Amino acid sequence: MMGMVCSWDIFYLNMARFVSTKSKDPSTQTGAVIVRPDRSVCSVGFNGFPRGMKDDSALYADREKKYSRIVHCEMNALLLSHDEQVKDYTLYTWPFSSCDRCAVHLIQAGIQRFVFPALTTEKASRWGDSLALAQDYMREAGCEVVEVQPLKLLRSMSVPLEKLI
């Protein structure tokens, strides 16, 4: 099911973008925000190594070691959630949707709505197959899938100065 974009979607996607800046991964910084049905934040997460493990830049530079250690942003958000369950919650991810492996865990946990920016051509060559499969899984499970076009995100970033004061 393809969903409609609302102003809350833009707000929480921008929050996921901000959360992604905490990632130390030099090649791909990802962020996630899990939101309750009442629109309050349940949890946030970014991609990185598990607590207690070395967070060394050399490990991020070695792709094999990095992939073996890294916890994806949405899994971090789910694991750091203090809610007992996330049934009917919404997941916002930046800069693209969840991969197929994360998607099945999130669906099983009860996430009902997935919101993410449209995939760029550059990122599609690297992750397109996994992300397309994930979105197929989301739809198969009856979840709402909301892909936000770049123009909507760009418009949201041009906030008049008066609104910030």
Cα–Cα distance between 136 and 143 in angstroms, integer?
10
Q: Is 84 a catalytic residue?
A: no
Buried b (16+ CB within 10 A) or exposed e, 40-78: eebbbbbbbbeeeeeeeeebbeeeeebeebbbbbbbbbb
Choose the catalytic residue: 74, 84, 147, 162.
74
Mark out the alpha helices in the chain (DSSP H runs). 7-20, 57-61, 63-69, 73-79, 100-109, 121-140, 150-157, 161-164
Catalytic site positions: 74
